[in-house]
Structure 1
Amino acid sequence: MFILELVYTAPLDVVDALLPDHVAWLDEQYEKGLILASGRKKPRDGGVMVAVAEDRTRIEEAIASDPFAAAGVCTYRVTEFIATKTAPELARHRQTLG
């Protein structure tokens, strides 16, 4: 499982101009099962996503296709972790140490 943290590197008006494309990209990632949750940070200096993928390469490919990343209006910080405990709704994403 992965935590994706976006930090805006451009003014909000530039970010907002790309927001419809970013939201469409998010919708695609939800449909693919890659993103489980997402939202703006407070204060609004970026966003956070919880994602699942077979490996970090798949996450990096998805990030590269994000209109925000392609336009250079944000940077991503990717943190991989082993989800050994989850809410019941996320049970299928639990992992074991090994």
Structure 2
Amino acid sequence: MFVITLSYLVGVEEIDEAMPAHREWLDAQYSDGVFLASGAQVPRKGGVILAAGLPRLELEARLSLDPFKQKNLASYEVVEFVPRAVKPGLEALQA
């Protein structure tokens, strides 16, 4: 499992202009079953994505296709971890 944090490198105005393309990219990752959750940080200085089910190199290749990355609008930090405990009902996250 991975926690990906995005940090904006530009103003929110430029982020908002690229947001439709970014959301389209996100939707493709959800359709593939890779992304589990995503959203904006509070305060709005970047975002967070939870991902699972693929090797790190493949995840990094997918991240490189994000319009935010391609337009140099955000930087990314990827943290990999193994869930040892989960809330009842989320046992699939331990697979």
Report the TM range for the smaller structure's normalisation. over 0.9
Residue 87 (structure 1) aligned with residue 95 (structure 2): no
Alpha-carbon shift at residue 55 of structure 1 (Å): 1.3
Q: What's the counterpart of residue 7 of structure 2?
A: 7
- Taking the TM superposition and a 5 Å limit, the aligned residue runs for 1:50-65 are 50-65=50-65
Q: Secondary structure at the match of 1:47?
A: strand
Q: What's the counterpart of residue 29 of structure 1?
A: 29
Q: Secondary structure at the match of 1:48?
A: strand
Q: What's the counterpart of residue 74 of structure 1?
A: 74
Distance, in Å, in 2 between the alignment partners of 1:68 and 1:9 is: 10
The two structures, once aligned, show a CA RMSD in angstroms of: 1.1
Q: TM-score, normalised by structure 2?
A: 0.93
Q: What count of residue pairs does the alignment treat as equivalent?
A: 95
Aligned residues of 1:4 and 1:50 also touching (Cα < 8 A): yes
Unaligned ranges ≥5, structure 2? none
Unaligned ranges ≥5, structure 1? none
Aligned residues of 1:21 and 1:67 also touching (Cα < 8 A): yes
Q: Percent identity?
A: 36
Q: Secondary structure at the match of 1:14?
A: helix
Give CA deviations for 1:5-55 in whole Å, capped at 9, x if unaligned: 000001111111000000011111001011000000000000001100331
